[in-house]
Amino acid sequence: MKVDLKQVEEASKELYIRALKMLPPDIKAGFQRLDKAETNATGKAILGTMIRNITVAEDNTNLLCQDTGIPIYNVVIGSGIEMDGHALKQAIVSGCTRATQEHPLRSSVVHPTTRKNLHTSGGRHVPVINIDFSAQADTLSIEMIPKGSGSENNSWLKMAIPADGIDAIKTFVIDCVLEAGGKSCPPVIVGVGVGGTADLCVHLSKVAATRPLGSQCDDPEGAKLEAELSAVVNKLGVGAQGLGGDSTAFAVHVETAATHITMNPVAVNMQCHSARRARATFTPQGLSYGY
């Protein structure tokens, strides 16, 4: 199946705008679940304000948060898809730029040393474009995630000692949640990467942090770890916006990879309560949008 790259460009533009304005249903359900379980009066009041913000933003087609984030596009190419890979990336970059300039959106992206802002939400190696492949025939999927700095600033990597085992991983994750406090605008999704190399481990932590709520690590040991950690983090007392209570996190998500016998890397990446994402899927039946 051939994919029209002009459609890809238009979809990349539309995805950025959709992601900034419409919160996925799983995150809304996560808010309702936390609100129902919250026992702290202050925490309950703050959750109520957050839920109200979501409704107001969507009713007025306004941004959920002023931070338009670092734009990330996760592309999955199915079997039978025919396209120029470089042209695909250029179409995504163009769509991201158009979203920023035509909507318009605040460009949050600058050069790391000069701090010059091109007002395109892009620059060197940004937007981030991750490309993977699947066996799903005649399907191209593009997921867009605007990753805000409040959550992204709370990222950690530890090259743990293998002999310290699973306890080192758990202790590190809990320490990171406590260190982040209210800086990641909780309730958060705590993304944990375990294994691989240093860079793969950090990447896995972001994959975990941006997974839909209710999903589970497909490694049984990873799923067991995320269940154990999810049960613990809301007993830490950080609470919504770091002001106390039971609603520190929607969940802890874990992704794992094989690693070296002398290594045990673990990384943590936070996703804030405005866990925004949007998806476009191209099939022979046409283009559809979702989460």
Instruction: Give the DSSP letter string of 70-100.
Output: EEEEEEEEPTT-B--HHHHHHHHHHHHHHHH
Q: What is the mean pLDDT of the chain?
A: 97
How far, rounded to the nearest angstrom, does the alpha carbon of residue 14 sit from its chain's CA centroid?
Answer: 18
Residue 266 lies in a domain: yes
Assess whether pLDDT exceeds 90 at residue 60: yes
Q: What is the pLDDT of residue 28?
A: 97
For residue 50, tell me if it sits in a domain.
no
Same domain, 261 and 195: yes
Q: Are residues 123 and 220 in the same domain?
A: no
**Backbone phi, psi, residue 203, to 5°:** -60, -45
Domain assignment present for residue 158? The answer is yes
Residues 15 and 136 in one domain: yes
Quick check: is 250 in a domain?
yes
Q: What is the pLDDT of residues 16-54, one digit of tens each?
A: 999 999 999 999 999 999 999 999 999 999 999 999 999
Q: Does one domain contain both 163 and 207?
A: yes
Q: Is residue 56 included in any domain, yes or no?
A: no
| Domain around 134 | 5-20+64-148+275-290
Tens digit of pLDDT for each residue in 227-274? 999 999 999 999 999 999 999 999 999 999 999 999 999 999 999 999
CATH of the domain at 99: 3.30.1330
User: Does residue 82 lie within any of the structural domains?
Assistant: yes
Residue 39 placed within a domain: no
The reply to whether 144 and 118 lie within a common domain is yes
Instruction: Give the global pTM.
Output: 0.96
Query: In this structure, are 128 and 258 located in the same domain?
Result: no
Tell whether 160 and 251 lie within a shared domain.
yes
Beta strands in the chain (DSSP E): 70-77, 128-133, 140-147, 155-160, 188-195, 249-257, 264-271, 278-283, 286-290
Same domain, 252 and 158: yes
Are residues 282 and 265 both part of a single domain? Answer: no
pLDDT classification of 104: cutoffs 50, 70, 90: confident
Is residue 160 helix, strand or coil?
strand
**Predicted local confidence at residue 273, as pLDDT:** 97
In a shared domain, residues 109 and 241: no
Q: What is the pLDDT of residue 10?
A: 98
> Tens digit of pLDDT for each residue in 135-168?
999 999 999 999 999 999 999 999 999 999 999 9
Q: Please name which of 245, 233, 228, 225 lies closest in space to residue 189, comparing C-alpha atoms.
A: 233
User: Do 11 and 119 have their domain in common?
Assistant: yes
Among the listed residues 140, 4, 129, the one whose alpha carbon sits nearest the alpha carbon of residue 78? 140
* % of the chain residues with pLDDT over 90: 100
* Residues 88 and 161 reside in one and the same domain: no
Domain tally, the chain:
2
In a domain, 48, yes or no: no
Name the percent of the chain lying above pLDDT 70.
Answer: 100
pLDDT digits (tens, 9 = 90+) for 201-210: 999 999 999 9
